Chains A and B, each alone.
Chain A
Amino acid sequence: MKKLLGIALGIMVALGGFIDIGDLVFNTQAGSAFGYQLLWVVPIGVLGIMVFTEMSGRVASVTGEPVFAIIRRHYGPRLGWFTLVGSMILNILTCAAEIGGVALALQLLTDLPYHLLILMALLALVVLVWKLPFQGIERLFGFMGLGLLTLLIAALKLHPDWSGVGHGFVPRLMSPGGNQLDYWYFAVGILAATFMPYEVYFYSSGAIEEKWKPHKDMIENRMNTVIGYILGGAVIAGIIVMSAELMRPKSINPEFIGTAMLGPLVTLGKAGLIIAILGAIFAIGGAAIETCFSGAYNLSQFLGWKWGKKNLPLKVPAFTISWLAIFVLSAGIILTGIDPISLTEDAVIFSVLVMPFSYWPIFKLARNRRAMGEFTNKRLANVLGWIYLVVIVAVSVAAVPLQLITNKGQL
């Protein structure tokens, strides 16, 4: 049971990283536009983020250094500041979108006005984060977010064409019958969402919050990454299959969170719908906390402030003010009326700016025998690390041009 509870960090990071408000809609669009054709992107992304998250957790537990401390040391002030600023913008924009996403999901359960729900979501998040210990936060949002597994169940209940699903997992460079640029826009978008750097910022800081030790907690680190990301990947694959079965035949081009919830409604009825909406509220809420805390962690680690949720809020005032300020600023941004779903798609611009700069130093340090000792990367981790660094750079370079050329997949 203890081991099961121990994987909450991985589940929260994976669900919050993979399935935020933008991804819920984006993956539904991918399934609607291309059927099963993009399923192959999911395991590729899942394996890559597993490799780097496991590395960041291992590095954090061995050296005691979270990602942004490593970035500060390895890049020096100039590139370090650039990465910090880029990541702060990404975290704040994404946090804003997630708070809006929580409000949109809450609206599906209540009759209250959207702007009031934004304020209620902000208040609830601040109170929960203030009151709960780090493990309480990860368990509440990680396990409650599993309600999104209803999307996977919905996909299975729609009786997909298993041969088509199988073919979908075979990578292909061209879409038969589809627009090739749109196809690559969605493929790169799914990968970019998988490699959102705030996942490793939060995970590695979480490992230090939980005081992981190299010998004792390596299995927990691996279980977190493997189980967490497999669950997250399964939900994403489920969304794509559900959408391919339900939306594509009806020519639905999903734009709203309500559309993604049609699957559980149609297959599981009212109970399935409620569980799916609750799952979305907690997964998106988890993403809001993840991005907000990533901002506060990054700032504190870069500037050398004392940080950590494990400390009483008043014992780490700069850290506490940082996360409070990020929450309030993010809520302020979304209160201006910006569409949260578009905002997550636009935030990808800043994620591609910081993505290679975030993953490279983790890999570099994980390969350093002097720093990591017996926990240095083995051959497989090195090979996968190099391959995925190339993938990350390719995604970074391709994401923004594809977004613009295809007008966000609307060619």
Chain B
Amino acid sequence: MGVIFWTKGGNMEELPKIHFRDPQQWVQFGLLVLIALLVLIGCIGTGQHLADAQFIGPNELKRSVGQLESYAAEAQVIDNYSHNGEALRSYTEAYSSSLKKATDSVAEKLTDHAHDRNLSAKTAAVIAMANGLSAHLGQYIHQPTRQLPGAQASSHYYDTLSSRLQNLDESL
């Protein structure tokens, strides 16, 4: 049995018709409802996740320290390749700018949100380290002449920062 169908670039085309049996359509409908429900639950869950993130507890602080460790490690690689002139200037600036924004956002989150009182000293230390890293990253963006601090000084800075972040991470 054929059916006139209207595809193929708008041309009329006679093609064999394929029927779906009723039970299959029911299965499809059930699947649709299930997936719609999952999405709905998902939306609610996301809202809750966002609400939970407003308070800085040990887990959130640990996560922030982990982020800073990662940004510092990335900054160190960029720094190595900026000093020996192998990285593109635009790449260094754009990448550093992304890292700086992310670092600032970590510092902002820790500053703005309420936190566990027992963690005040550690939170303040993380904020200070984030601000220091942000300032360091700013040098790659704001000094187009590449008058960066010496390679040795930079390397020492990142090594110290990574070590301090690692110690903090382990203490949380």
Q: Interface residues, chain A, CB within 8 Å of chain B?
A: 63-66, 69, 72-75, 79, 82, 104, 107-111, 208, 250-256, 258-259, 261-262, 265-266, 269-270, 273-274, 277, 301, 304-308, 310-311, 349, 352-353, 356-357, 364-365, 368, 370-371, 393, 396-397, 400-401, 403-405, 407, 410
- Contact A253-B99, Cβ < 8 Å, known A64-B7, A265-B86, A266-B77: no
| Chain B hits for A254, CB < 8 A | 70
Is there a chain A Cβ closer than 8 Å to B151's Cβ?
no
Chain A binding site: helix, strand, loop or mixed by DSSP?
helix
Contact in complex: A404, B91 (CB < 8 Å) = no
Contact in complex: B15, A65 (CB < 8 Å) = yes
Contact in complex: A74, B20 (CB < 8 Å) = yes
Contact in complex: B28, A270 (CB < 8 Å) = no
Of B9, B35, B73, B91, which contacts A258 at CB under 8 A? B91
Please encode chain B, from 64 to 88, with 1 for each CB lying within 8 Å of some chain A CB and 0 for all others: 0011011001101100010000111
| Chain B hits for A365, CB < 8 A | 18
- Contact A73-B5, Cβ < 8 Å, known A256-B99, A400-B38: yes
Contact in complex: A368, B18 (CB < 8 Å) = yes
| Chain A hits for B7, CB < 8 A | 64-66, 69, 72, 301, 304
Of B39-47, B107-115, B116-124, B127-135, which binds chain A?
B39-47
CA distance A259 to B78 in the complex (A): 10
**B1-55, CB < 8 A from A:** 5-10, 13, 15-18, 20, 25, 28-29, 31-32, 34-36, 38-39, 41-42, 45-46, 49
How many interface residues does chain B have, given as a range? 35 or more
* 4 closest A-B pairs by CB: A306-B10, A258-B95, A69-B7, A404-B45
Contact in complex: A353, B35 (CB < 8 Å) = yes
| Chain A hits for B99, CB < 8 A | 256
CA distance A259 to B74 in the complex (A): 7
Contact in complex: A368, B77 (CB < 8 Å) = no
Of A252, A397, A400, which contacts B73 at CB under 8 A? A252
- Contact A307-B9, Cβ < 8 Å, known A108-B95, A404-B49: yes
Nearest opposing residue in chain A for B80, CB measure: A266
Of A306, A352, A397, which contacts B9 at CB under 8 A? A306
Of A107, A252, A255, which contacts B90 at CB under 8 A? A107
- Contact A396-B35, Cβ < 8 Å, known A74-B18, A250-B73, A404-B46: yes
| Chain B hits for A407, CB < 8 A | 49
Contact in complex: A208, B88 (CB < 8 Å) = no
Shortest beta-carbon distance from B112 to chain A in Å: 19
Of B34, B42, B76, which contacts A403 at CB under 8 A? B42
- Contact A273-B49, Cβ < 8 Å, known A64-B13, A253-B66: no
| Chain A hits for B94, CB < 8 A | 104, 107-108, 258
Of A64, A73, A252, A311, which contacts B70 at CB under 8 A? A252
Contact in complex: B8, A208 (CB < 8 Å) = yes
CA distance A308 to B10 in the complex (A): 10
- Contact A208-B9, Cβ < 8 Å, known A107-B94, A261-B91, A262-B77: yes
Chain B binding site: helix, strand, loop or mixed by DSSP?
helix
Shortest beta-carbon distance from A210 to chain B in Å: 12
Contact in complex: B32, A258 (CB < 8 Å) = no
Nearest opposing residue in chain A for B91, CB measure: A108
| Chain A hits for B87, CB < 8 A | 265, 270, 273
Of B35, B93, B98, which contacts A256 at CB under 8 A? B98
Is there a chain A Cβ closer than 8 Å to B142's Cβ?
no
| Chain A hits for B148, CB < 8 A | none
| Chain A hits for B91, CB < 8 A | 108-109, 258, 261, 265, 273, 277
| Chain A hits for B15, CB < 8 A | 63-65, 371
Nearest opposing residue in chain B for A112, CB measure: B90
CA distance A349 to B88 in the complex (A): 37
CA distance A113 to B94 in the complex (A): 10
Nearest opposing residue in chain B for A253, CB measure: B70
Of B6, B81, B98, which contacts A265 at CB under 8 A? B81
CA distance A390 to B163 in the complex (A): 47
CA distance A411 to B31 in the complex (A): 29
- Contact A349-B77, Cβ < 8 Å, known A256-B98, A307-B10: no
Contact in complex: A110, B90 (CB < 8 Å) = yes
Nearest opposing residue in chain A for B8, CB measure: A64
Shortest beta-carbon distance from B137 to chain A in Å: 12
Residue of B6, B10, B34 with highest tally of chain A CB at under 10 A: B10
Contact in complex: A404, B42 (CB < 8 Å) = yes
Is there a chain A Cβ closer than 8 Å to B168's Cβ?
no
| Chain B hits for A270, CB < 8 A | 86-88
Nearest opposing residue in chain B for A393, CB measure: B31
CA distance A158 to B75 in the complex (A): 20
Shortest beta-carbon distance from B5 to chain A in Å: 6
Nearest opposing residue in chain A for B73, CB measure: A250
| Chain A hits for B38, CB < 8 A | 397, 400-401
| Chain B hits for A266, CB < 8 A | 77, 81
CA distance A357 to B36 in the complex (A): 13
| Chain A hits for B18, CB < 8 A | 73-74, 364-365, 368, 371
Of B20, B45, B88, which contacts A274 at CB under 8 A? B88
Contact in complex: B66, A256 (CB < 8 Å) = no
